[in-house]
């Protein structure tokens, strides 16, 4: 499990970095693009905070500049990988109880949460690609299989 989840977070970082590289070269005009990427990063930080049992530290729908997003991507990705490396195999089945931004308490296993975090990032990167396409950009291939090649 360790190797697989670390690989997924490495992919996640690669895919987000591809978009950030595009932002820095072509400066998309639609502010929603930056808002979605900021949200994606904040959610990753907040989910890790939940897994660690500490208060959530990121503003879920805040706005960041591309340089800030790049730094947060590096920091959050490293934090997730360090967390995964610290786990024992049995920890992946461990239930994590957390409270959502809406104040509702749920419990999911760590494996389910990790899968959600990766899927959440893929979902929002897809939304970003649609918005960029509407602005006429040539889009980078950021599918998992592209990363694995």
| pLDDT for residue 119 | 98
Domains held by the chain: number: 1
pLDDT tens digits for range 65-106: 888 999 999 999 999 999 999 999 999 999 999 998 889 999
**pTM greater than 0.75:** yes
Tokens coding 20: 């950030």
**Radius of gyration for the chain, computed over Cα atoms and rounded to the nearest angstrom:** 15
Q: Is 88 within any annotated ligand binding site?
A: no
| Consecutive 10-residue averages of pLDDT for the chain (149 residues) | 94 96 78 92 96 86 86 97 97 96 94 98 97 90 94
The whole domain housing 62 covers 2-148
Q: Is 120 within any annotated ligand binding site?
A: yes
**What's the CATH code of the domain at 117?**
1.20.120.450
Instruction: Report the C-alpha gap between 148 and 146 in whole angstroms.
Output: 5
């Amino acid at each position: 499990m360790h190797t697989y989840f670390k690989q997924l977070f490495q992919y996640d970082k690669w895919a987000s970095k591809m978009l950030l590289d595009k932002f820095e070269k072509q400066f998309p005009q639609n502010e929603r693009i930056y808002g979605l990427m900021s949200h994606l990063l904040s959610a990753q930080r907040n989910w890790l905070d939940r897994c660690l049992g500490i208060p959530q530290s990121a503003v879920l729908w805040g706005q960041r500049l591309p340089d800030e997003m790049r730094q947060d991507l590096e920091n959050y990705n490293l934090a997730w990988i360090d967390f995964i490396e610290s786990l024992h195999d049995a920890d992946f089945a461990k239930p994590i109880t957390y409270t959502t931004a809406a104040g509702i308490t749920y419990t999911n296993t760590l494996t389910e949460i990790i899968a959600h975090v990766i899927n959440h990032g893929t979902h929002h990167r897809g939304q970003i690609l649609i918005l960029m396409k509407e602005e006429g950009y040539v889009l980078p291939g950021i599918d998992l299989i592209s990363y694995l090649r």
